[in-house]
């Protein structure tokens, strides 16, 4: 269902050259059809006297000769030029003597003929090629003439069957945010009367296959409005300048059909950040299209009821200009579903099948951590196929087992699915972060912990919300934060024995924090209230400014030792906490394996109240997430 990005198709100079070469070839082939071999006059005479010539045609400036067929082969044809001022009668006599059938022909180079073959025919062929290419580029449109018109698919409810929220499962949070958009599209008057600012652009962000496209369609379906959808990759493959023209056209059409939804799928294909060093490599075409998009977004009046929706799985590459207020200013996270969500998705797709009574979709959901909606749809489909192979009329639990195994093999290679062992390790790792955070004095309260690889690239996440907006942090707070960071690795060591690579990100961040404590904040007793190193280089080029060293080799060694000392102390402290509360750790990990995500109240149940201090999250909390990247 998911249209993979098509090969970028650009008609470049090389393309035209190729067509031209083909033409030349064709032309010569036509003109020299069965061309006779050119020979010197002397050779012709020799052949004639040798009695090899069967026929001769005397033309104005040449003589065309057909040799006698030798041994069933096709008779060879020769051509020789007439000699200037030659005596024809002698030649004619000679021909007669050899009893060659000969004729004369006055060459009438018909102007019409040469024009037709030499020029018109190639032109016709050229035009045919052009039309063919155009057809390929824009199926459904009437050829080259309306290339600039967009291919926005007006989503047709009657043909596809209306998509509603009932078809989307397991992404309740995203759905809840979109309900408001639906409501606005249904009765915009209500919002306008209140003077409420209507969202102009909603950006769906999440890993591939989580149902972003489906959700956008469902919003249109629920609201009963037309749905214009275009994929970002479709813009990029166009001729230069056409992407922008299309964008203009898309919005023009949409304005005529308001209220409606304009949906730009795979927004990252056109919305990649401009500027920076990458500017040299970027696509001029894409930039034009992006600029046009920005112009269109700013130009349309959202009170008219055109809602812009976008989807991307790479929000980090988007141009910041797209995300500014008044553009895609509302972002909705469509994350990987957890166990209950997966069960719901399975049952949405399972409805189309006849399930045997032994099928327990909850069991299937448990076996598929990390899978997204599109994967689960495939699981259901594979199970149906397995049943069909058995010749059964109903799909059994065993069919589902087989389907999951089959798909997991493929997904495992891509690294988006965990084995049981890995899942256990991640559960302890996240449990470690959580329990330390619940135990130390200054850590931010734990908001939620999950072992589902949420958001792109992370294995599990412990989400802490700062209790209040912070401008300053004390030494103790920083140390506690370090202990929490170390908790993951400590728990792995404690309960799984070996260490794994899963803690790399934690360690990196912890090291950075500890180094700053020593060299920036003067928080080390041994080194004293001194800062070390000076930031050099232009600051605005993030990442390029290096640190200038303004201290001795000995000091560097002392800093390193101090950093290591801090980290080791905090690691030991985390480990001690976990050892003391091992029961609680095991309980959290077991529960995580079971339900995959625990929120604050569930954690309190497991560890007892009071452990999680009852601080209220700030109005606009910036969560600190331990995303454990692989």
**What is the contact surface with Mg ion in residues (CB under 5 A)?**
213
Nearer to ligand ADP, 245 or 348 (CB): 348
Q: Looking at beta carbons only, is 205 or 584 nearer to ligand ADP?
A: 205
CA angle 554-558-562, nearest 5°?
170
Q: Tell me: does residue 628 bind Zn ion (CB under 5 A).
A: yes
Q: According to the binding rule CB under 5 A, does residue 431 interact with Zn ion? A: no
Q: Please say which residue, 311 or 427, places its beta carbon nearer to ligand ADP.
A: 311
Pick from 216, 211, 173: nearest CA to 597: 173
> How far is Cα of residue 541 from the mean position of the Cα atoms in its chain?
27
Q: Which residues of 334-354 are buried (b: 16+ CB within 10 A; e: fewer)?
A: bbbbbbbbbbbbbbbbbeebe
Q: Which two tokens stand for residue 186?
A: 């249904």
Strand pairing category for 330-333 and 446-450: unpaired
β-partners of residue 597 are 450
Q: CB under 5 to 8 A by kind: which of Zn ion, ligand ADP, Mg ion, none does 493 bind?
A: none
By CB under 6 A, residue 2 contacts ligand ADP: yes
Q: How far apart are alpha carbons 344 and 452 in whole angstroms?
A: 16
CB of 602 to ligand ADP, least distance (A): 23
In the DSSP assignment, the letter for residue 116 is: I
Q: Which residue is nearest to Mg ion (CB)?
A: 213
Residue with tokens 């991307």: 312
Closer to ligand ADP by Cβ: residue 215 or 518: 215
Q: For the window 137-176, what string marks contact with ligand ADP as x by the rule CB under 6 A?
A: -------------------------------xxxx-----
Residues 6+ apart with CB under 8 A from 270: 232, 235, 236, 243, 264, 286, 289, 290, 293
Total interface residues for Zn ion by CB under 5 A: 4
**Looking up tokens 């495992």, which residue turns up?**
412
Cβ pair 239, 271 in contact under 8 A = no
Footprint of ligand ADP on 48-107 (CB under 6 A): none
| Residue-wise DSSP of 10-22 | ---HHHHHHHHHH
Q: How far apart are CA 228 and CA 239, in angstroms?
A: 22
Is there binding between residue 219 and ligand ADP (CB under 6 A)? no
- CB nearer to ligand ADP: give 223 or 379: 379
User: Other CB atoms closer than 10 Å to residue 627's CB: what's the count?
Assistant: 17
Name the one range near Zn ion by CB under 5 A: 15-23, 109-117, 258-266, 618-626: 618-626
Nearest approach, Cβ of 8 to Mg ion (angstroms)?
19
Q: Which is nearer to ligand ADP, 5 or 186 (CB)?
A: 5
The mark string for 373-412 relative to ligand ADP (x by CB under 6 A, - otherwise) is xx--x-----------------------------------
Q: Is 210 in the site for ligand ADP (CB under 6 A)?
A: yes
Catalytic residue at 430?
A: yes
Q: Which of 266, 430, 492, 562 is catalytic?
A: 430
Stretch that binds ligand ADP, among 206-214, 362-370, 433-441, 509-517 (CB under 6 A): 206-214
Task: Tell which one of 188, 199, 201, 209 touches ligand ADP (CB under 6 A).
Answer: 209
Q: 191, 190, 214: which is closest to 204 by C-alpha? A: 214
User: Among residues 455 and 555, whose Cβ is nearest to Zn ion?
Assistant: 455
Burial of residue 232, with CB atoms counted within 10 A of its CB: 0-12 exposed, 13-18 middle, 19 or more buried: buried
Q: Which is nearer to Mg ion, 47 or 312 (CB)?
A: 312
- Residue 203 binds to ligand ADP (criterion: CB under 6 A): no
Contact criterion met (CB below 8 Å) for 375 and 407: yes
Q: 56, 58, 269, 345: which one contacts ligand ADP (CB under 6 A)?
A: 345
Which string of x and - marks every residue 443-482 that binds ligand ADP (by CB under 6 A)?
A: ----------------------------------------
CA distance 172 to 181: 15
Q: Are 210 and 171 a contacting pair, CB within 8 Å?
A: yes
Shortest reach from residue 488's CB to Zn ion, in Å: 3
- Please tell me the distance from the alpha carbon of residue 232 to that of residue 238, in angstroms, as a whole number: 11
What sign results for the dihedral spanned by CA atoms 590, 595, 600, 602? negative
Count the Cβ atoms, other than its own, within 10 Å of residue 386: 19
Q: Provide the phi-psi class of 318: left if phi over 0, else alpha when psi is between -120 and 50, else beta.
A: beta
Site for Zn ion in 460-499 (CB under 5 A): 488
- For residue 367, the minimal CB distance to ligand ADP (Å) is 18
Per-residue interface string for the shown chain with Zn ion, residues 504-523, x marking contact by CB under 5 A: --x-----------------
Q: Which positions are catalytic?
A: 430
Binding residues for Zn ion, rule: CB under 5 A, are: 488, 506, 626, 628
Binding residues for ligand ADP, rule: CB under 6 A, are: 1-2, 168-171, 208-214, 311, 345, 348, 373-374, 377
């Amino acid at each position: 269902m998911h249209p993979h990005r098509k090969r970028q198709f650009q008609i470049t100079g090389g393309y035209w050259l190729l067509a031209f070469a083909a033409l030349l070839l064709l032309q010569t082939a036509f003109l020299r059809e069965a061309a006779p071999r050119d020979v010197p006059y002397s050779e012709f005479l020799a052949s004639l006297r040798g009695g090899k010539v069967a026929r001769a045609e005397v033309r104005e400036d040449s003589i065309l000769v057909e040799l006698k067929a030798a041994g069933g082969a096709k008779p060879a044809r020769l051509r020789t030029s007439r000699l200037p001022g030659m005596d024809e009668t002698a030649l004619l006599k000679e021909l007669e003597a050899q009893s060659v059938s000969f004729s004369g022909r006055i060459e009438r180079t018909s102007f019409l003929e040469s024009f037709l073959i030499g020029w018109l025919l190639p032109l016709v062929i050229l035009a045919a090629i052009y039309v063919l290419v155009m057809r390929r580029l824009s199926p459904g449109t009437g050829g080259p003439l309306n290339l600039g018109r967009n291919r926005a698919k007006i989503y047709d409810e009657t043909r596809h069957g209306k998509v509603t929220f009932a078809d989307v499962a397991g992404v309740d949070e995203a759905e809840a945010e979109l309900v408001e958009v639906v409501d606005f599209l249904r009765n915009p008057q209500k919002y306008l009367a209140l003077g409420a600012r209507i969202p102009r652009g909603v950006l769906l962000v999440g890993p591939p296959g989580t149902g972003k496209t489906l959700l956008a369609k469902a919003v249109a379906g629920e609201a009963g409005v037309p749905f214009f959808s275009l994929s970002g990759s479709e813009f990029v493959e166009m001729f230069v300048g056409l992407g922008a023209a299309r964008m203009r056209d898309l919005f023009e059409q949409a304005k005529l059909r308001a209220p409606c939804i304009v949906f730009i799928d795979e927004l990252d294909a056109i919305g990649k950040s401009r500027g920076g060093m990458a500017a040299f490599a970027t696509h001029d075409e894409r930039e034009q299209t992006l600029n046009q998009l920005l112009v269109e977004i700013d130009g349309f009046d959202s009170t008219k009821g055109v809602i812009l929706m976008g989807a991307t799985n790479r929000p980090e590459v988007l141009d910041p200009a797209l995300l500014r207020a008044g553009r895609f200013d509302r972002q909705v996270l469509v994350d990987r579903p957890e166990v209950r969500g997966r069960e719901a998705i399975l049952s949405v797709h399972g409805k189309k099948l006849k399930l045997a009574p032994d099928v327990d979709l909850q069991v299937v959901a448990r076996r598929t951590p990390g899978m997204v909606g599109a994967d689960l749809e495939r699981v259901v489909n594979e199970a149906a196929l397995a049943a069909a192979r058995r010749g059964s009329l109903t799909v059994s639990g065993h069919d589902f087992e087989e389907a999951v195994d089959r798909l997991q093999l493929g997904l495992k290679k891509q690294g988006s699915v965990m084995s049981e062992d890995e899942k256990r390790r991640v559960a302890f790792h996240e449990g470690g972060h959580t329990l330390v955070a619940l135990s130390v004095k200054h850590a931010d309260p734990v908001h939620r912990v999950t072992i589902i690889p949420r958001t792109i690239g992370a294995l599990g996440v412990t989400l802490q919300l700062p209790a209040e907006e912070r401008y300053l942090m004390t030494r103790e707070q920083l140390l506690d934060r370090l202990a929490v960071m170390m908790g993951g690795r400590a728990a792995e060591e404690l309960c799984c024995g070996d260490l794994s690579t899963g803690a790399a990100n934690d360690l990196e961040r912890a090291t950075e924090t500890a180094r700053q404590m020593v060299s920036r904040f003067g928080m080390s007793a041994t080194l004293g209230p001194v800062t070390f190193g000076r930031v050099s280089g232009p600051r605005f080029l993030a990442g390029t400014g290096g640190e200038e060293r303004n201290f001795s080799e000995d000091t560097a060694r002392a800093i390193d030792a101090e950093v290591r000392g801090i980290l080791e102390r905090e690691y030991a402290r985390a480990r001690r906490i976990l050892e003391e509360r091992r029961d609680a750790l095991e309980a959290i990990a077991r529960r995580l394996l079971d339900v995959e995500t625990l929120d604050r109240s569930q954690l309190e149940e497991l560890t007892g109240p009071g452990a999680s201090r009852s601080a209220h999250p700030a109005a606009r909390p910036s969560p600190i997430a331990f995303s454990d990247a692989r």
